[in-house]
Amino acid sequence: MELEKYIGCSKASRKLIKADLVLKNASIVNVFTDRVEQGNIAIKNGMIVGIGDYQGEEELDIRGQYVTSGFINAHLHLESTMVNPQVLISQAARHGTTTFIVDPHEAANVSGRDGIDYILEQTKHSPAHVYVMIASCVPATAIDDNGFRLTAREMEPYLTNRRVLGLGEVMDTMAVITGDPEMNAKIQLFDGKIKDGHAPGLNKEELAAYVLAGISTDHECTTYEDIMRERSMGMFCLIREGSAARNLETIVKGIVENNLNTEGFGFCTDDRHIDDIIREGDIDNNVRKAVSMGISPIAAVKMATIQPATRYGLRRTGAVAPGFDADLVVWDSLKDFNAQMVFYNGRRIDDMLNIKPAPCPPQLLDTVRLAQIDPQKLVIRPGNVPFPTIRMIPGEILTERTDMVLPGTEDGGAFVPNEQVSKIACFERHHYTGKVGVGAVTGFGIRGGAIASSVSHDSHNIIAIGDNDEDILTAVRELERTHGGYTVVEHGEVFDTLELPIMGLISDRSYSYVSKKVRRMTSKAHKMGVPKDMEPFITLSFMALPVIPEIRCTPRGIFSVSEWKMLT
């Protein structure tokens, strides 16, 4: 702390001068004593300087309300909200999240360092602390077709940025545990800094080798058994509740039933639509659900504050105590967790929400580069033999492999989708290569059309699902026209499109515009047969990611994550 700032804070602590702001008669959640304590919170120069009988230039009486440190979203991709990062931060901050630890690997896979710099620049003046983990896997694996390759040498300049905390989720687990030199160089570059994990499906021995490399967190646990395996090795586990991957209920149920200590846990959203944030909340949604299932309110608050702050080395974040940043939330209760007031550096965020987004570099507005599409590439003729088919799982981004004889192929004909089996296709969109991978998927149920998206983790090629080739091609051409986005096509006509011209990932429109479009298209997809308990676009966006079990559709064909080989 600068000397002048410290002297002012010290004088306020000792009551030689008034604090800037005092929150009077607060019920304070003390994460160090695990108690709710009564007191006045004194704030000076953006910091908490004391708890007690203080006077302030401004005083607010919050009797009957509870105060915690601002919540921490310990892992998210800002791009997945599809709105300008500044817009997302502002909306989530209203719900009490004042610290965001973001991984810009979506932007990096499309636009390399320009994409990372865009995220850093857009969040520089946010009404919250926004930290960055530098994307570790660009591309995610050697079989991906993405926009750029990010090497350890290209990452090096970010080490001096005070907002960069460490290495983003290391998804290429095989590269880690087999000692791939390029991956090892990235891990060594961030020696002494936090390294985030992404380790679904590893057995005990593989996980041991993965942890041995210095990777200490993971957000991909979907079961209590996953959690126990990782916690037994000292990993810090982030309980995820996003728009498509909703893992909190299963994991918290196991924690409560087994009376497991919650000190090794935090919360994250990973990928969450802006509409869900506005409607349900951000990390407050995680906390509220955890408490409703039996986690004690104070334990849940610690999972959202001091525990991730400690793990990520944020020593002035996460507690209501002297010496901590005055990032505070006033809640109505420790059950409902409805934010009444939110403070960032001692100021009400309501006074800080009119920050204009920084200009978007022009090179990020022209990133959909499709070769001419040959309709014959969509035809599948496997013959009268079982075809490796993707089975979608509602509420999960995991998939299962089902080998089945596809409808229409029994006598050598081409695959004809029906209500049970849809067609999926992934089109390379960065380098005009013309690669198209085609497969079959069950559990999606779409009839009478197709949906497509340029948000397709993590390489962000264009991915589509439909029940006929014509509508799939119409959807893909629509996204070529708009330079990326979401679209729904029904009976040969475009029903609606959400344009995402910034890297094919982010809108240049308001959150209300994005929210309205997503709601309208999601409703239409459900009417076309997609299960009501499945978020169609985010679920679709993960169907090309070859680091999550069990089977995926990439521009090179159908890929088995479990066997680590192409199947078609």
CATH of the domain at 122: 3.20.20.140
Q: Are residues 315 and 420 in the same domain?
A: no
560 assigned to some structural domain = yes
Q: For residue 377, what are the CA distances in angstroms to 105, 193, 206, 312, 566?
A: 30, 46, 38, 47, 17
Model confidence pTM above 0.75: yes
% of the chain at pLDDT higher than 70: 99
pLDDT above 90: residue 1: no
Question: Residue 412 has what pLDDT?
Answer: 83
Q: Are residues 280 and 398 in the same domain?
A: no
Q: Are residues 492 and 372 in the same domain?
A: yes
Q: Are residues 191 and 308 in the same domain?
A: yes
pLDDT (tens digit per residue) in 241-290: 988 778 999 999 999 999 999 999 999 999 888 888 989 999 999 999 99
Q: Which residues pair with 436 in a beta bridge?
A: 427
pLDDT above 80: residue 351: no
pLDDT above 90: residue 358: no
pLDDT above 80: residue 222: yes
Residue where a domain stops, chosen among 254, 284, 319? 319
25 assigned to some structural domain = no
Question: Residue 397 has what pLDDT?
Answer: 83
535 assigned to some structural domain = yes
pLDDT above 80: residue 475: yes
Question: Residue 357 has what pLDDT?
Answer: 79
Contact in structure between 350 and 339 (CB atoms under 8 Å) = no
Q: Are residues 314 and 369 in the same domain?
A: no
Alpha-carbon distance of 284 to 175, in angstroms, equals 36
Question: Residue 361 has what pLDDT?
Answer: 94
pLDDT-derived band of residue 411, with 50, 70 and 90 as boundaries? confident
Nearest Cα residue to 469 out of 411, 529, 416, 405: 416
For 58, the enclosing helix (H) or strand (E) is strand 56-61
Residue where a domain stops, chosen among 259, 294, 319? 319
pLDDT above 80: residue 506: yes
Alpha-carbon distance of 469 to 449, in angstroms, equals 9
Q: Are residues 385 and 307 in the same domain?
A: no
As separate numbers, helices (DSSP H) first and strands (DSSP E) second, the chain gives 16, 27
Q: List % helix, strand, coil for the chain (3-state, nearest 5).
A: 30, 25, 45
Q: Are residues 192 and 295 in the same domain?
A: yes
Number of domains in the chain: 2
Mean pLDDT for the stretch of residues 500-526: 94
Q: Are residues 477 and 544 in the same domain?
A: yes
| Coil, strand or helix at 527 | helix
Contact in structure between 453 and 462 (CB atoms under 8 Å) = yes
% of the chain at pLDDT higher than 90: 89
Mean pLDDT for the stretch of residues 441-458: 96
pLDDT (tens digit per residue) in 111-153: 999 999 999 999 999 999 999 999 999 999 889 999 999 999 9
336 assigned to some structural domain = no
Question: Residue 273 has what pLDDT?
Answer: 84
Q: Which residues pair with 85 in a beta bridge?
A: none
Residue where a domain stops, chosen among 319, 353, 387? 319
Q: Are residues 232 and 163 in the same domain?
A: yes
pLDDT-derived band of residue 542, with 50, 70 and 90 as boundaries? very high
Q: Are residues 306 and 396 in the same domain?
A: no
Question: Residue 539 has what pLDDT?
Answer: 92
What is the number of other CB atoms lying within 10 angstroms of the CB of residue 241? Answer: 26
Contact in structure between 58 and 22 (CB atoms under 8 Å) = yes
Q: Are residues 394 and 297 in the same domain?
A: no
Pairing of strands 399-404, 421-427: unpaired
Alpha helix (H) residue ranges in 281-322 = 283-292, 297-304, 306-311
Task: Measure CA 522 to chain center.
Answer: 19
pLDDT-derived band of residue 383, with 50, 70 and 90 as boundaries? confident
Mean pLDDT for the stretch of residues 159-163: 96
Question: Residue 323 has what pLDDT?
Answer: 97
pLDDT above 80: residue 395: no
Domain hosting 306: range is 69-319
Residue corresponding to tokens 């580069």 = 369
Q: Are residues 295 and 394 in the same domain?
A: no
Alpha-carbon distance of 153 to 130, in angstroms, equals 24
28 assigned to some structural domain = no
pLDDT-derived band of residue 396, with 50, 70 and 90 as boundaries? confident
Alpha helix (H) residue ranges in 484-559 = 511-527, 536-541
Mean pLDDT for the stretch of residues 488-497: 98
16 assigned to some structural domain = no
Mean pLDDT for the stretch of residues 20-37: 98
Question: Residue 356 has what pLDDT?
Answer: 76
CA-derived radius of gyration, the chain: 24
What's the chain's average pLDDT?
95
Alpha-carbon distance of 336 to 484, in angstroms, equals 38
252 assigned to some structural domain = yes
Question: Residue 214 has what pLDDT?
Answer: 97
355 assigned to some structural domain = no
pLDDT above 80: residue 355: no
Whether the ω angle into residue 308 lies within 30 degrees of 0, i.e. cis, is: no
